[in-house]
Amino acid sequence: MCKSVLKSILTALLGLCLFTTGCMSINESQAGGVKNRTDNIRVASLSIFPEKWDKDSNTGKIEKMIREAVVKGAQMVITPEGVLEGYVVNEVINEEEPVGKKKLTEAFIRLAEHIEGERIRYFRNLAKELDIYLLLGFLEVDGGKLYNTAALLGPEGEVVGKYRKTHFWQGYEVNPPGYTAGNDYPVFDIGALKIGIMICFDRQLPEPARILGLGGADLIVCPAYGGWGQWNTKLMEVRAYENQVYVVFTHPEQSLFIDRDGNLLKECRQDSFIICEVPLSDHKKTRKSVIHRRVETYGPLLNKEME
C-alpha cells in the first residue's frame, strides 16, 4: 500500500516537473532571430574564455554559446576580442628567446583570417541560419597586414562591416610584423539602430566613444580581452553617460549592459552570458554635455604630445 502511494506521488511529481520544464520554452514573441524583433532588439554578450591558438576548439565553443543565447531570445550576439584564435598577440610580444619568438610570430601570422576566409564564412552561415546579427572578434589579414578586428555579420549571411582596433595598450613598436592599428570609426546602420564598436583599450581613451556618438551611434559595443573589474565598470558607465548611448562590454571574465544614463543594468562573469533589451526608438541626444559642446575650443586635442 505504501509503495503504491509513493509510486503515485513520484509519478505526479515527475509529471509536474516535465510540465514546468516545457513551460520554460520561449514562445514566438520571445524567440531569437531578427524577424521576431519588435520595439526592442535583444542583445547577448557572451563571456567566453577561448583556448589560445586553437581556432577549432574555439569555433565549437563559440557556436555552442551562440545557440544557447538564441534559444533564450538573442537577436544580436557579441563575442570578446580575438575570441576566434584566443587573443595571442601578447604571447608573441612577451617571448624573449629569439628562436621561440620567430616560431610564435610565424604561428601568429598563420592564425590570421581574411574577411572572406573559411572561418568567417562559417560564422556568416551561422548568423544566416539563426537569423541574427553576430559580432565576431578575430585576427584579420588583409593586404599583407594584420588587424585586431571585430566583424559585424548580418542575418542574410552578409558582412555588414568591420572595425579595426585603433589603440594598442602596448604601443606600436613592439608588435609582430605587419600588426597594424586601424584608423576609422564606422557606425553601422541596421535599420532602427546604429551601432559603433570599440575594442578593449580603445575604451580607456574618451575620443573613440565620443566620435562614435557624434557619428550617430545609439549603441556602442566593446569586445575586450585585457583588464576588467570594478574600475572598468565605472569607466564604461562614464562612456555611456557622457555620450548618451547604450553600452555593451564583452570580455571573457565579465559582461556588462549599461543604459544611456550610465546605469549598470546587467552583469555576468566567465562562461555565461547576459541578454539585454535595447530600444529601437527614442535615441535622440538631449544631454547638455552632448549638445552644448564648443568644438572651436578643441584644437589642442589634435596635438600628439602632452606638455
Q: Which amino acid is at 294?
A: R
The secondary element (H helix, E strand) that includes residue 19 is helix 2-23
Taking the domains of the chain in order of start, what are their residue ranges?
Answer: 29-282
Range in 1-15, 22-36, 37-51, 213-227 the model is least confident about: 1-15
Grid cell for residue 72: 533564450
10 Å CB burial of residue 206 (0-12, 13-18, 19+) is: middle
Task: Please give the average per-residue pLDDT across 25-42, as a whole number.
Answer: 65
Q: What is the pLDDT of residue 63?
A: 98
Strand order in the sheet with 264-269: 187-189, 194-197, 219-223, 246-251, 254-258, 264-269
Residue 281's pLDDT band (cuts 50, 70, 90): confident
Picking from 37, 40, 66, 33, the residue whose alpha carbon sits closest to that of residue 257 is: 40
What backbone torsions phi and psi does residue 113 show, to the nearest 5 degrees?
-115, 140
Q: Is 81 a residue of the active site?
A: yes
Rg (CA), the chain: 22
Residue 39's pLDDT band (cuts 50, 70, 90): confident
State yes or no: pLDDT of 161 exceeds 60.
Answer: yes
Task: Please give the average per-residue pLDDT across 70-99, as a whole number.
Answer: 97
For the stretch 185-240, pLDDT in tens is 999 999 889 999 999 999 999 999 999 999 999 999 999 999 999 999 999 999 99
Please identify which of the residues 55, 162, 165, 194 carries the catalytic annotation. Answer: 165
Task: Please give the average per-residue pLDDT across 87-98, as a whole number.
Answer: 96
Please identify which of the residues 55, 81, 194, 222 carries the catalytic annotation. Answer: 81
**What is the rounded distance in angstroms from the CA atom of residue 246 to the CA atom of residue 260?**
5
CB 64 within 8 A of CB 271: no
Picking from 120, 49, 108, the residue whose alpha carbon sits closest to that of residue 79 is: 49
Q: What is the pLDDT of residue 277?
A: 96
Under DSSP, the state recorded for 51 is P
Q: Is 128 a residue of the active site?
A: no
Please identify which of the residues 162, 200, 222, 276 carries the catalytic annotation. Answer: 200
Handedness of CA 180, 185, 189, 190 (dihedral sign): positive
Q: What is the pLDDT of residue 29?
A: 42
Q: What is the pLDDT of residue 305?
A: 75
Q: Is 200 a residue of the active site?
A: yes
Task: Please give the average per-residue pLDDT across 150-175, as a whole number.
Answer: 97
Q: What is the pLDDT of residue 288?
A: 87
Average pLDDT of the residues of the chain: 89
Residue 283's pLDDT band (cuts 50, 70, 90): confident
CB 229 within 8 A of CB 221: no
Assigned architecture for domain 29-282? 4-Layer Sandwich (3.60)
Residue 31's pLDDT band (cuts 50, 70, 90): low
Q: What is the pLDDT of residue 302?
A: 86
Task: Determine how β-strand 187-189 pairs with β-strand 159-164.
Answer: unpaired
Q: What is the pLDDT of residue 282?
A: 80
State yes or no: pLDDT of 24 exceeds 50.
Answer: no
Cβ atoms within 10 Å of 129's Cβ, excluding its own: 13
Picking from 155, 156, 147, the residue whose alpha carbon sits closest to that of residue 115 is: 147
For the stretch 5-18, pLDDT in tens is 444 433 333 333 32
More confident residue, 18 or 118: 118
Could you tell me what percent of the chain has a pLDDT over 90?
80
Residue 56's pLDDT band (cuts 50, 70, 90): very high
CB 184 within 8 A of CB 173: no
CB 138 within 8 A of CB 83: yes
State yes or no: pLDDT of 60 exceeds 50.
Answer: yes
State yes or no: pLDDT of 307 exceeds 70.
Answer: no
Task: Determine how β-strand 219-223 pairs with β-strand 194-197.
Answer: parallel
Q: What is the pLDDT of residue 173?
A: 94
More confident residue, 305 or 140: 140
Residues 6+ apart with CB under 8 A from 142: 114, 115
